[in-house]
Structure 1
């Protein structure tokens, strides 16, 4: 799992502990919602909405230093652009696994679970 702890350090330095924890928690909640939207949108094969949702995922994941999630989302964008449903399905599954691990890792690193 690639996590950029330097990004979290910057957030904590800029926003303080409470502010950083609020931003990180909100980003993680938003990411969870976007992943659900992504799955629903993929089922109906709405490519424009898929691209927009992937861009939002990349932006939020970058904000909190989730480099593995950003990388997987960018791979997914390539699959959508290439209209490769098999690869798209595989990369979406990988993105889901990364998202699950990322939530735990960010909470552990930032001590957000307490």
Structure 2
């Protein structure tokens, strides 16, 4: 986590708007993580790449640097046509993503 990203977001948008952005980002990340796993199981590499790329931007927006980095690793593995690396990095992304989302959720005591 990059706490400065969240601090900047709250400074720029104010508490209410920033909370809304963070909540929507967390929801979207959770949906896309699940979608990535489904695409991998369907062997839909083209759409998996698109979904992983979208995770990068959303993660960076709320300071989830590790998640963004791993999503980039998934994209790089796809670009290298390295199926074992895609599987390994994707499941690392899912593990890190789930724990990161939980941490942000708990840190901000968010409710949907």
Query: Could you tell me the TM-score, scaled by structure 1's length?
Result: 0.90
CA distance in 1, matches of 2:69, 2:100: 13
The superposition leaves residues 51-97 of structure 1 with CA deviations (integer Å, 9 ceiling, x where unpaired) of 21011100100110000001100111111111111111111111111
Matching residue of 2:79: 81
Mark the runs of 5 or more structure 2 residues left unpaired by the alignment. none
Unaligned runs of 5+ in 1: none
Matched with 2:3 is: 5
**Residues of 2 paired with 1:103 and 1:54: CA distance?**
16
Match of 1:56 in 2: 54
CA distance in 2, matches of 1:75, 1:105: 22
Contact 2:30 2:98 (8 Å CA) reproduced: no
Q: What is the DSSP-based 3-state SS (H/G/I as helix, E as strand, rest coil) of the residue aligned with 2:14?
A: helix
Indicate the residue corresponding to 1:105 in structure 2: 103
Q: CA deviation at 1:30?
A: 0.4
Aligned to 2:35: 37
CA-based RMSD = 1.6
- Separation of aligned partners in 2, 1:111 and 1:13: 18
Which residue matches 2:91?
93
